[in-house]
Structure 1
């Protein structure tokens, strides 16, 4: 892996392919990695006279979590990142850089330009820095990809002991992005990196592949669609617009066990759902919402209790 020195300050309209080719020779099967920062600069995604807070709302689909000054959001790209990936480093004072409008499209354009000028078939990865759940620190990930396998599917293979690999799928595009950051450094002025030796990951010239979008879990497919505090608030509010991040309806047995544990009620199965008598209807409603179910409440014979009929929610 190499990261060439000598890249000048990138500005709107600059030719990224030309900047790279002035400093590096490419071979068939190389993987070219470029930071989203310089892609955004070249595409005019710098906002002068602005702060993160000024532009955060426009780059946000929904807030995932807030802790002190940190806001984690889901972006229009489907990425979950602090401050929507808006960056105020390595840019003129008083300006911020937004993520590329469509990082996969940016990667495809750069790949096409490099092939047109060199005849070489390469893969291209647009990288950005992100934190990770459960881990301190940050690493670079792939937010745009063209001409490259983004993950390797090991399902069906066996290890040296004969054990089947059921769900092993290395996100090779992210692994390459993290490795490239080691060569580039944060302050070295080296926004490009070239990886040689993984031509097996590079697709045919006429195949750009699924892009980095393929690595983004859909709404409801992520076990951590909200932060811990935010999930409690959303469940208690019960707004139908907030359902998707909680995922598909849980099995009736799972919800019944949770209701019994939290409210001491004993839900009984009925056609299409569950019935429970409770003096804690708000708790039942919140638990049902968090598990992808909806509730109809009826007054019970005992004034302090209600009958709750629960059904899986229909999106």
Structure 2
């Protein structure tokens, strides 16, 4: 049982530039030495600056190269899945706290950056610490932003309570706090956005820090694989992609739906109940384009029915 935590963000860190030694900057700013079990939190902004991820230009210049696909658009705002697998506005490209006319890209490999910093701190201080690299992100369904972990080393990234029982005797089945994200947000409160305090030290959760040499799975373990997210596209984009039906757009819709789920969706939209047909469905008296879009969104193949003009056959999932 932890007795509480403390978070401190040291002042006096100078402007970080390409090639700077982040471990030295942190250690110079600390008022007390690092100890075993400390968790070092550092903003991705200074990691990127030290690694030379600053570019001249504006977000739109760099966005295509940082994007694997667009998730949603609202006016000029683009929510994208980035090259790191993160789903963020503008792929996390930032134009704040940087010289005018420049932008900062996210680190090339935040988990690797965290591992390197952890190893350096171990070499120089002897302390076994965990390291988290953070960035700011919005949340679905809620206004405002919070900091999340985009890189981690030497830490449990998730606490699993599955199989345990609460104080009322209820089984905990899927309770799994993403503790590295929680720590990232706690650190951000101490750091602030305008205080030039890119580092924070959290104490009181040494139980989360792994043994020396064991860096753990990293923050990338929290990224859901393509197709496993309930919200692979924004609401408008999902309609467009389903109607377009391009094969490269199918994966974000997820695993194929059951025949029962697809049948219910077709009946709800078209008013026509599909007829069971072998392992699939036969749809009569419905707009084929509408049926095709529904089939695509549910992961099924759609084609004209043989020997039944005007009917549509839904068969064999597009993916398995």
Give the distance between the partners of 1:202 and 1:275, measured in 2 at CA: 56
Cα offset for 1:269? 2.2
Normalised TM-score (structure 2) = 0.95
Quote the RMSD (CA, aligned, Å).
Answer: 1.1
Task: Please say if 1:123 is aligned against 2:130.
Answer: yes
Task: Please say if 1:88 is aligned against 2:92.
Answer: no
C-alpha change, 1:213 and 1:261, in structure 2 (3 Å) is same
Cα offset for 1:286? 0.3
Cα offset for 1:309? 3.1
Task: Please say if 1:62 is aligned against 2:69.
Answer: yes
Spell out, residue by residue over 1:2-58, the C-alpha distance to the aligned partner (whole angstroms, 9 max, x if none).
00000000000000000001122200000000000000000000002x100000000
Give the distance between the partners of 2:261 and 2:136, measured in 1 at CA: 37
Match for residue 183 of structure 2 among 170, 176, 182: 176
Give the distance between the partners of 1:270 and 1:126, measured in 2 at CA: 53
Residue correspondences, number: 312
Task: Please say if 1:16 is aligned against 2:22.
Answer: yes
**Equivalence for 1:45:** 53
Match for residue 72 of structure 1 among 74, 79, 97: 79
Cα offset for 1:69? 1.6
Match for residue 44 of structure 2 among 36, 45, 49: 36
The answer to whether the 8 A contact 2:159-2:177 is kept is yes
Give the distance between the partners of 2:108 and 2:265, measured in 1 at CA: 42
The answer to whether the 8 A contact 2:191-2:197 is kept is yes
Gaps of 5+ in 1: none
Normalised TM-score (structure 1) = 0.97
Gaps of 5+ in 2: 1-6
Give the distance between the partners of 1:76 and 1:269, measured in 2 at CA: 42
Q: Give the 5 Å matches for 1:120-269.
A: 120-269=127-276
The answer to whether the 8 A contact 2:130-2:155 is kept is yes
The answer to whether the 8 A contact 1:274-1:311 is kept is no
Spell out, residue by residue over 1:132-168, the C-alpha distance to the aligned partner (whole angstroms, 9 max, x if none).
0000000000000000010101100110000011111
Task: Please say if 1:106 is aligned against 2:101.
Answer: no
The answer to whether the 8 A contact 1:288-1:310 is kept is no
Give the distance between the partners of 1:285 and 1:12, measured in 2 at CA: 52
